[in-house]
């Protein structure tokens, strides 16, 4: 006996606007509302952190000679644990572009052609097929001496997503590849990395800024990242941070002095 014959349910009685399977034409059952983990938490509209430990009181802007452009995988925009947005909070000139394999961002394409900038794709030098494009931080210094603005293009996503962005974006193929060389190990506690050497996006930016000579901007972003890291981790256990941490104190001190 079919479902409709039993009188309990008739699939074709679903509302006319119901989504249909493209292969069979049959109506699909209504989808359940998606509920991400932590979706019930009340978040600050400014920083997207749980209001229990809002990040906004510690936001400090800084100036840097180099700029950061984020080429972000679409899925990263929906993750509150994404650290790429911290860079934009600190460095006002940060640009964020969403990566789509078949539709490059028009503004990014225009900026890549702008002679004012010297863009570098930040990526490991672990494959021989692009070894001729690999440069060192000395190339950043050369760009500065040529009165150009160095730009660090960060591929913002998981390691697998970043590799896909690197391999599937022909418009990046002509750009020099700058691998980050650092002894720093990740302090990021909100996602489990495959290796302690795998830094999150904000940590990569900190190290690039520091090595490129933008020490103050690097220090501010590093403290801001640490506050984000601690605040989000504490909020997961419904713990309020009542006593400011050293990083919080440093950022509050910069606010009071007016120096980013």
| Tokens encoding 63 | 């100036």
Residue pointed to by tokens 């900038």? 117
Q: What is the pLDDT of residue 48?
A: 87
- Between CA 71 and CA 164 the distance in angstroms is 12
- Calculate Rg over the CA atoms of the chain: 23
What 3-state class would DSSP assign to 134? strand
Asked if the structure places residue 84 within a domain, the reply is: yes
Q: What is the pLDDT of residue 199?
A: 92
Asked if the structure places residue 236 within a domain, the reply is: no
Q: What is the pLDDT of residue 194?
A: 59
Number of domains in the chain: 1
Q: What is the pLDDT of residue 188?
A: 86
Asked if the structure places residue 138 within a domain, the reply is: yes
Instruction: Give 20's DSSP letter.
Output: B
Asked if the structure places residue 152 within a domain, the reply is: yes
Asked if the structure places residue 29 within a domain, the reply is: no
Asked if the structure places residue 24 within a domain, the reply is: no
**Residue 55: closest CA among 224, 170, 217:** 224
Angstrom distances, CA of residue 66 to CA of 11, 123, 179? 59, 17, 16
Predicted confidence pLDDT, tens digits, the chain (260 residues): 333 333 333 333 444 444 544 444 445 444 444 344 445 678 898 888 999 999 999 999 999 999 999 999 999 988 888 999 999 999 999 999 999 988 999 999 999 999 999 999 999 999 999 999 999 999 999 999 999 999 999 999 988 999 999 999 999 999 999 999 999 988 888 777 656 677 999 999 999 999 999 999 999 999 999 999 999 999 988 999 999 999 999 999 999 887 66
| Tokens encoding 32 | 């359940």
Percent of the chain at pLDDT exceeding 90: 67
Asked if the structure places residue 245 within a domain, the reply is: no
DSSP letters spanning 28-55: PPPPPPP--TTTTS-B-TTT-SBGGG-S
**Residue 215: closest CA among 49, 62, 98:** 62
- Between CA 50 and CA 30 the distance in angstroms is 31
Compute the CA torsion angle 174, 125, 163, 109 (nearest 10 deg). Answer: -20
Asked if the structure places residue 147 within a domain, the reply is: yes
| CB-count exposure of residue 143 (10 Å: 0-12, 13-18, 19+) | buried
Q: What is the pLDDT of residue 23?
A: 42
- Between CA 26 and CA 11 the distance in angstroms is 8
What's the sign of the alpha-carbon dihedral 79, 111, 124, 174?
positive
| Tokens encoding 162 | 């970043």
* Domain membership of residue 87 as a residue range: 65-181+194-220
Q: What are residue 97's DSSP bridge partners? A: 71
The model's pTM is 0.82
| Tokens encoding 78 | 């929906």
């Amino acid at each position: 006996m079919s479902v409709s014959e039993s009188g309990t349910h008739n699939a074709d009685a679903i509302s006319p606007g119901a989504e249909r399977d493209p292969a069979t034409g049959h109506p699909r059952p209504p989808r359940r509302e998606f509920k991400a983990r932590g979706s019930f938490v009340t978040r600050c509209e400014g920083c997207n952190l749980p209001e229990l430990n809002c990040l906004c009181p510690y936001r400090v802007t800084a100036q840097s000679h180099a700029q950061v452009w984020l080429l972000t995988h679409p899925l990263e925009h929906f993750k509150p644990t994404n650290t790429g947005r911290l860079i934009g909070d600190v460095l006002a000139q940060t640009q964020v572009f969403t990566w789509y394999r078949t539709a490059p961002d028009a503004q990014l394409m225009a900026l890549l052609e702008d002679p004012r900038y010297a863009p570098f794709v930040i990526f490991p030098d672990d494959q021989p097929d692009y070894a001729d494009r690999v440069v060192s931080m000395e190339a950043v210094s050369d760009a500065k001496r040529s009165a150009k603005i160095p730009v660090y293009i960060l591929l913002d996503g998981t390691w697998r997503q970043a590799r896909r962005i690197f391999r599937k974006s022909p418009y990046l193929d002509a750009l020099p590849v700058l691998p980050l060389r650092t002894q720093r190990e990740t302090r990021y506690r909100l996602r489990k990395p495959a290796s302690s050497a795998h830094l999150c996006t904000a940590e990569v930016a900190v190290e690039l800024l520091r090595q490129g000579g933008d020490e103050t901007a690097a220090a501010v972003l590093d403290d801001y990242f640490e506050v984000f890291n601690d605040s989000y981790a504490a909020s997961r256990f419904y713990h309020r941070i009542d006593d400011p941490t050293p990083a919080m104190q440093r950022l509050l001190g910069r606010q009071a002095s007016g120096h980013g």
